[in-house]
């Protein structure tokens, strides 16, 4: 039987969050979110939607982290950005 929602840990409502990553590609944001969470850094993924006929090119996805986690998150994101891009040849898995 699931536990009542009140017994689950709740975020601190006055906690300062900072934007650590933004992208137009939601898939990329999900990958970075996974990297951060695997390092023990909680993050909040937010979508920014705008009416494209009014605000063309505005929108995307951003990640927010606690202010105290930002330095470590920046290091992880920098390492991710420095990875070489995958192409069809490097994506093949050898057995």
Tell whether 91 is covered by a domain: no
Q: Output DSSP code: residue 80.
A: H
Contact yes or no for 71/87 (Cβ under 8 A) = no
- Which structural domain range is residue 32 located in? 15-82
Tell whether 22 is covered by a domain: yes
CA 77 to chain centre: 9
Strand order in the sheet with 43-48: 17-23, 60-66, 43-48
Tell whether 93 is covered by a domain: no
Tell whether 95 is covered by a domain: no
Residues 60, 26: Cα–Cα separation, whole Å: 7
> CA nearest 30: which of 41, 17, 46?
46
Q: Which domain CATH number covers 29?
A: 3.30.70.1530
85 compared with 35, residue with greater pLDDT: 35
pTM over 0.75: no
Tell whether 67 is covered by a domain: yes
Tell whether 49 is covered by a domain: yes
Task: Specify the number of domains making up the chain.
Answer: 1
Tell whether 1 is covered by a domain: no
Give percent of the chain above pLDDT 70.
Answer: 64
pLDDT at 8: 41
Q: How sure is the predictor about 95, in pLDDT bands with cuts at 50, 70 and 90?
A: very low
């Amino acid at each position: 039987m699931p536990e009542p929602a009140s017994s689950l840990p709740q975020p601190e409502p006055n906690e300062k969050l900072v934007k650590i990553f933004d992208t137009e590609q939601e898939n990329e944001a999900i990958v970075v979110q996974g990297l951060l969470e695997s390092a023990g850094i909680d993050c909040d993924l937010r979508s920014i939607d705008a009416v494209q006929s009014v605000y063309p090119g505005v929108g995307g996805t951003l990640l927010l982290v606690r202010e105290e986690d930002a330095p470590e998150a920046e290091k992880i994101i920098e390492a991710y950005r420095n990875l070489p891009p995958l192409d069809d040849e490097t994506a093949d898995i050898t057995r």
